[in-house]
Amino acid sequence: MGRKEGKDAGDNCGHGFNAPGMKYVMPENFVIKSPKCRTRRPMRPEAGYSRTDQFFCSARMQSDLSQSRQGKDTEERIASVSIPTETVSIPSLIFCVRGPHREEATTALLPLQSYELVGAHHLCDFNGTTREGLLVTPSSSTDSSKPLTAFSLMLIVHSAFLCLHETEERLRVHITDAESQRWEVPYNLLPRPAAPSPSLSSTRKLPTTDKGGEFNLNPSESANGELIFGFTADPFGFSVRRKSNGETLFNSSADDKSPYGNMVFKDQYLEISTKLPKDSVLYGLGENTQGKGIRIQPYDPYTLYTTDISAINLNTDLYGDHPYYVELRNNGGEVSFHGVLLLNSNGMDVFYRGSSLTYKIIGGVLDFYFFAGPTPLGLMDQYTSFVGRPAPMPYWSLGFHQCRWGYHNVSEVAAVVDGYINASIPLDVMWTDDDHMDAAKDFTLDPINFPPQKMAVFLSKLHSRGLKYVVLIDPGINVNRTYKTYLRGMEEDVFIKLDGEPYLAQVWPGMVYFPDFLNPKTVDWWSNEISTFRKLLAVDGLWIDMNEPSNFCTGKCTMPKDHPCPDPKSYPWLCCLDCTVLTQSKWDNPPYKINASGTSAPIGNKTIATSATHYNGVLEYNAHSLYGFSQTVATNKALLKSTGGKRPFVLTRSTFVGSGAYAAHWTGDNKGDWDNLRYSISTILNFGIFGMPMVGSDICGFYPAATPLEELCNRWIELGAFYPFSRDHANFASPRQELYQWPSVAESARNALGLRYKLLPYLYTLNYEAHTTGAPVARPVFFSFPNFVESYGLSTQFLLGSSVLVSPVLEPNATTVNALLPPGTWYSLFDLSQAIVSQGNYFTLDAPLNVVNVHVYQNTILPMQRGGLLSKESRTTPFTLVITFPSGAEDADAAGKVYIDDDEDPEMKLGNGRSTYVDFLASVGKGKVKVWSEVDNGDFAVGLGLVIEKVVVVGAAGGSRGLQVEVDGQPLSPSSISGVSFSETAIENMGLAKNVEGSTGKKGGMMVQVGGLALPLGKKFSLTHETEERLRVNITDAESQRWEVPYNLLPRPAAPSPSLPSPRKLPTTDKGGEFNLNPSESANGELISVSPPTHLDQYLEISTKLPKDSVLYGLGENTQGKGIRIQPYDPYTLYATDISAINLNTDLYGDHPYYVDLRNNGGEVSLHGVLLLNSNGMDVFYRGSSLTYKIIGGVLDFYFFAGPTPLGLMDQYTSFVGRPAPMPYWALGKHKRTYSPSHLEEAAVVDDYINASIPLDVMWTDDDHLDAANDFTLDPINFPSQKMAVFLSKLHSRGLKYVVLIDPGINVNCTYKTYLRGMEEDVFVKLHGEPYLAQVWPGMVYFPDFLNPKTVDWWSNEISVGISPSG
């Protein structure tokens, strides 16, 4: 409908106004605008009017709500008066006008930036009603005598508006009623800066800018602010944008294309919307169960109102109310996050349409807080600095918890604890639901099934074992004149009222009253009840449930007169009170119906009547969603007081903004099925975003389902072991599901919880980070990889902290899991030698029934301990540092941290003498790996005796040689680290290493373990080990795979795949075919010159020049008649051969293609080693000034070891090929081997040595003891088993040992069990598909194939069977 101008506009666009003491003639082009006035007549340029000259205070008039249920067509009449250029000269101006639509209003004349608001005054009287106006006076910079030009006149009708930059990253926009006080979240419940009273004007100067209606606060308050506030006056809308890039984050203004209207502000209905980019990604708005994952989905319902409705209901208002969302924007790779909190506790619907978001709220105020981000962790820091830092959790709460609704007596509870201990499954906390109570009454014990005496014994034993005990309490207090808690509550008048009497409801005890936790007296009474109960039973924590609050009845209820209540013949959750549904009050039946319970149920359904009142007349209508929060605060304070100031543990079901500062949360009543297993991840991640990181779901499910439970429980504990809060909990109707009920589940629990308990120092440090910075414990993958677009909706995997990725199985009958891994190198925490080098793609990972995939990312230092069955014990064990570099890294860094404290202080902080914080750092570069620490308040850790026993470095290129250790800046002596051990394992990679950040492109890298350390955790240390003394040159066929010594047989970094371009540059030089590696890879290695190789299928030849005076050793095995030095022109053939060692310079039993070159250059002596790792037969020709290899297959895989000292060279060589095996002490004694026809002769030989007083430690027999030379047998005549047992017993009693011979050939004999088992397992070497037949001592034999893993198992079994228990 078009707008009528001038006189024809009538009341809708009226004109004319009166000001006290002044008669003002309306200019010809004067306009008053409302939404019905669709167009504005253009201002004459000479009038000097500009939109930039307006200043907004606020003005709102809405049409009736019934006209605008959906908001789009709302007649939001925001009136303004615009006046063209006039010439006036007055020191201050006050105008009182009658606005359109017959609404009285006060206006303030604000000429440009020349006047500022200084106070509120009662100025205008319309029909005897006094209204408040605003006094404006000239600013200090304004010459009041100078004529003022273009100004604007704005109407103040009903609303007051405030914009505050509270911090550099936080902006508050507060919109309320200027004439009457409206409900807000109490400032004492959620502490925050108070908004200025709406009845007084702001004293802040709020100048207009050159960008229309946009303005900032004065420079002293917003000079460094990232968020800029802007507005439009007619119709009113506001925007928030970034200063850094101008991007608009929130814009409430509507246009003709918007699917929403402008702002509505009525008594019981508020509506406001914002535009959103179509490609933005939203998270948050809970609590609800999101079946489609963590992302907020367009057109899914999001209703926020605390409700006791099962978590199995999707997209429904559940137990918590968190009107906060996080928005992720990715603008061409520039990623930013910001958060928006609407701090309002009234029920609301939030509609997300993809390109817009609309709030529809049934009361309160519009109190927006905008958090600038732009990083995820920065945003969490900003948000939790406002709503409250997450509560510090006791160390034991990070252990495993067990609960069930339906433990019948204390003996059954004790048996459950024993069941876990006997099954060797970790357990830290035992719980009971309401079973322990006397008739479900809080703070009581069932005198029959849980009598106080037996409970005291049970709890004493539990505590002596190091376990904890947590019980449930509900808010409903049984109306019972024999119940002391009730009587004390009545005496203190602590209950919520309806019509002046305590509001009667029904929950588990039957008839109940609900405590009013907004009443300070209630908080004191509640604290006293908890203290009294803990004197009866010293529980370690409290679980508060049903606090939405839940009520089995609806409306105003009275005690029944014609039937019992509760009815023993009925279910306790069926209402038995006499109730009347309340519909007459506007509080019980508001004009707008939110989508409560997913069905638009009345907001008082199954809860407290919303017309009931709290302390100081606060309506339940307003405070409903705060009930659980207020109880949580009171319970936390009560536990803190009753334990003498020790850190409290509270678990709550109902939550609100800020609950995380006082309690943990579980996701409520889920179901034992695969869908609920999957849903749990999204809910847990959302609560991390809400600032409540200690969260978990009921493992194995609360409600029973038709799903077979065993496989589901396997998978659920594999996931649940890595929930921040890990608890198994079941309904009384569910089958028993403690983790030891099935052997398979017990095994999965030992595996998964075993890793969790090793990770407890990491999880506890994450708890510290959460408490100090708000960082979640469990995080969406995009928190660490914000540019990884594929992770934005990932809801089947999650991170613990920044670096540990959990990829659980979430569907039945699966033996693999399809896991998305962000770019980089990921190492399995169950086997660090297994790595995945990802480009950001999916991998199919093995996941048999008892296996969960958990990986740690590159550049991480992960503090771990040995683990155990109890957190109290595991936290005292030595530490292992797992240090991860990108695969094959030659230049990289890693970092980690650990925080420890006494676990009892209510705050996690440093400087109190009861805590230590350690930063771990590591680097690899220039052939060295260095690990060091920086320690803050280290004395506490030193006092606990905590030490680091092992450092595991994975991913770095090369092995390790030397070791240097410093503690507190002082080097340790060689004797101090003499017990240190090294071990190396080649890392096996999955995935492509190409183009991965941080990776050199090489497959492999090494896992180096440095064990036997004892570094005090509380002291700074530095550990350096070197990797620069080894150089590898691998020459193979680029087109076809050739034989190499198996990598699993001799572990080492894999060579680059010949099917891909080698990352090494191998240029020819100015000497023809001679080449070196390029300097970037061999800057610290000696360059080795070689002649052009010959590389044929079955013939390889390669030579090297040598100085004539060099001295060579090695190349064996052979018997060298001329001494240890390799002699020129002597034959050196390397091929393992059974030929007697009496033959000189002949290939003998072993093959060692390794030589040592000693050079003495004028007294400067150096040694280096050269290994050609090739198992094919070869001849080596040494001519004094050169050496030539001629090999009949394989590859040219050279390893050069730099030395230069003999022992240094040995260190380098054995660090690669393997450290020499440790020998038993007795092996160093005298050994005697003889051909003996019987055991009697062997015994006589032993006696002869003893009688001759000749040392002897070990007696041996060749194959004499065997039955027909068959391995693992005894000759039944000459070496019968009974007599051999007597012989061996006597030998052992004398302290001697006994060793026997076995040959590899297995006799082909159908009566020979070793042979038969070998045939069954198919373990023999084949020729043309059949076992290869040979002849050795037993006669016809087959040879076992020890490259076959099955052969290794078969061989191990035969040895085990062949050795008697006494042997």
Average pLDDT over residues 99-111: 32
Structure-token pair, residue 690:
């809400």
Average pLDDT over residues 36-43: 30
Average pLDDT over residues 585-605: 94
Query: How many C-beta neighbours within 10 Å does residue 750 have?
Result: 19
Of 58-67, 917-926, 1155-1164, 1264-1273, where does mean pLDDT reach its minimum?
58-67
Question: What is the pLDDT, as a whole number, of residue 469?
Answer: 98
Average pLDDT over residues 927-956: 92
Asked if 383 and 375 count as a contact pair (C-beta separation under 8 A), the reply is: no
Q: Which of 53, 308, 545, 1101 is catalytic?
A: 545
pLDDT for 623 beyond 50: yes
pLDDT for 545 beyond 70: yes
pLDDT for 26 beyond 80: no
* Spatial separation of the C-alpha atoms in residues 585 and 587, rounded to whole Å: 5
Question: What is the pLDDT, as a whole number, of residue 177?
Answer: 87
pLDDT for 272 beyond 70: yes
Q: Which residue has the higher pLDDT, 539 or 1004?
A: 539
- Band (212; pLDDT cuts 50, 70, 90): very low
Q: Can you state the percent helix, strand and coil of the chain, rounding each to 5?
A: 20, 30, 50
- Band (1048; pLDDT cuts 50, 70, 90): confident
Question: What is the pLDDT, as a whole number, of residue 161?
Answer: 55
Average pLDDT over residues 820-847: 96
pLDDT for 237 beyond 80: yes
pLDDT for 200 beyond 80: no
Structure-token pair, residue 807:
């990829």
Question: What is the pLDDT, as a whole number, of residue 844?
Answer: 96
C-alpha distance from residue 554 to each of 576, 602, 615 (Å): 11, 9, 22
* Spatial separation of the C-alpha atoms in residues 714 and 107, rounded to whole Å: 70
Q: What is the 3-state secondary structure (H, E, C) of 609-653?
A: CCCCECHHHCEHHHHHHHHHHHHHHHHHHHHHHHCCCCCCCEEEC
Each residue of 497-518: pLDDT tens digit?
A: 999 999 999 999 999 999 999 9
- Band (1047; pLDDT cuts 50, 70, 90): confident
Q: Which residue has the higher pLDDT, 584 or 874?
A: 874
Length of the chain: 1367
* Spatial separation of the C-alpha atoms in residues 1240 and 1236, rounded to whole Å: 9
- Band (112; pLDDT cuts 50, 70, 90): very low
- Band (206; pLDDT cuts 50, 70, 90): very low
Question: What is the pLDDT, as a whole number, of residue 1028?
Answer: 58
Asked if 852 and 797 count as a contact pair (C-beta separation under 8 A), the reply is: no
Each residue of 398-421: pLDDT tens digit?
A: 999 999 999 999 999 999 999 999
Active site residue 1070: no
Each residue of 1110-1121: pLDDT tens digit?
A: 999 999 999 999
Which H or E run includes 1031?
strand 1030-1035
Question: What is the pLDDT, as a whole number, of residue 960?
Answer: 54
- Band (162; pLDDT cuts 50, 70, 90): low
Average per-residue pLDDT for the chain = 82
pLDDT for 1172 beyond 90: yes
Q: Which of 321, 435, 446, 548 is catalytic?
A: 548
Q: Which of 317, 669, 711, 890 is catalytic?
A: 669
Q: Which residues pair with 352 in a beta bridge?
A: 357
pLDDT for 579 beyond 70: yes
Q: Which residue has the higher pLDDT, 1097 or 20?
A: 1097
Question: What is the pLDDT, as a whole number, of residue 1041?
Answer: 85
Q: Could you tell me how many helices (H) and strands (E) the chain has, helices first?
A: 20, 79
Rg (alpha carbons) of the chain, rounded to whole number:
41
Q: Give the percent of the chain with pLDDT over 90.
A: 68
* Spatial separation of the C-alpha atoms in residues 999 and 1324, rounded to whole Å: 41
Average pLDDT over residues 847-871: 97
* Spatial separation of the C-alpha atoms in residues 379 and 385, rounded to whole Å: 10
Question: What is the pLDDT, as a whole number, of residue 978?
Answer: 58
Of 212-216, 312-316, 388-392, 1136-1140, where does mean pLDDT reach its minimum?
212-216
Taking Cα atoms as reference points, which of 682, 748, 679, 742 lies closest to residue 710? 742
Asked if 260 and 358 count as a contact pair (C-beta separation under 8 A), the reply is: yes
Q: Give the percent of the chain with pLDDT over 70.
A: 80
* Spatial separation of the C-alpha atoms in residues 275 and 354, rounded to whole Å: 9
Average pLDDT over residues 74-82: 29
Active site residue 548: yes
Active site residue 545: yes
Taking Cα atoms as reference points, which of 947, 932, 910, 931 lies closest to residue 765? 910
* Spatial separation of the C-alpha atoms in residues 668 and 680, rounded to whole Å: 10
Question: What is the pLDDT, as a whole number, of residue 1318?
Answer: 95
Average pLDDT over residues 567-574: 87
